[in-house]
Amino acid sequence: MFIMQRKKVLVITAITAVSALMVLSFKPIDQQQEPKKLKNIKVYPATATYKEVDRAMDVFKADLGVHCDYCHAHSKENPKKMDMASDENPIKDITRDMMRMTDEMNKKYIGNIPHADTVKVQMVTCKTCHRGAPKPFGQPPVYPKFPGPPPAGNQPPLPPHDK
């Protein structure tokens, strides 16, 4: 009888100890790992977080109708995995220029449209042009060239002034 009770006490103690350990070692999921760090960012501001960049990537994917590996390279060690920080895929740098271009269009031109009368000026995004395709227009469109300065070194003579 006494032995039985001692066994019971032992078992209960063991269960209590294990549960206590489980409770002590439990941490909410977001504290278990360090937040992921960005490794090779050249266009997004230094303040951008991994989460924000990751969310922006889903938008790129949708706006161009492509998968992540259209712009990103596969890992050299394990080709089944992606190496998002690598610049091996040349499309990634083309995209960086596209980001700079889009930003400049908005800052320099679109953002300057006076909009005191309406809500908010509509900014240019990747989707404005791409609309679900990496090559937005298929065939190059045919339209009259913008009047602008001709390429340097190839200037036609100025038309005569009548004065």
Site for ligand HEC (CB under 6 A): which residue of 54, 79, 115, 123?
54
Cα radius of gyration (the chain): 30
**If binding is defined by CB under 6 A, does position 94 make contact with ligand HEC?**
yes
The pair of three-digit structure tokens given for residue 93, joined into one six-digit string: 């740098």
Distance separating alpha carbons of residues 124 and 66, to the nearest angstrom: 20
The pair of three-digit structure tokens given for residue 138, joined into one six-digit string: 């298929």
Q: Which is nearer to ligand HEC, 20 or 121 (CB)?
A: 121
Count of residues interacting with ligand HEC (CB under 6 A): 37
**If binding is defined by CB under 6 A, does position 60 make contact with ligand HEC?**
yes
**If binding is defined by CB under 6 A, does position 59 make contact with ligand HEC?**
no
Distance separating alpha carbons of residues 141 and 148, to the nearest angstrom: 19
**If binding is defined by CB under 6 A, does position 134 make contact with ligand HEC?**
yes
In a 13 Å sphere around the CA of 67, the CA atoms on its Cβ side amount to 4
Distance separating alpha carbons of residues 114 and 89, to the nearest angstrom: 40
**Listed residue (65, 73, 120) closest to 92, CA to CA:** 73
Site for ligand HEC (CB under 6 A): which residue of 70, 75, 106, 110?
70
For the CB of residue 82, give the shortest distance to ligand HEC in the complex, in Å: 7
Site of interaction with ligand HEC (CB under 6 A):
38-44, 53-54, 57-58, 60-61, 64, 66, 68, 70-72, 84-85, 91-92, 94-96, 98-99, 102, 124, 126, 128-130, 134-136
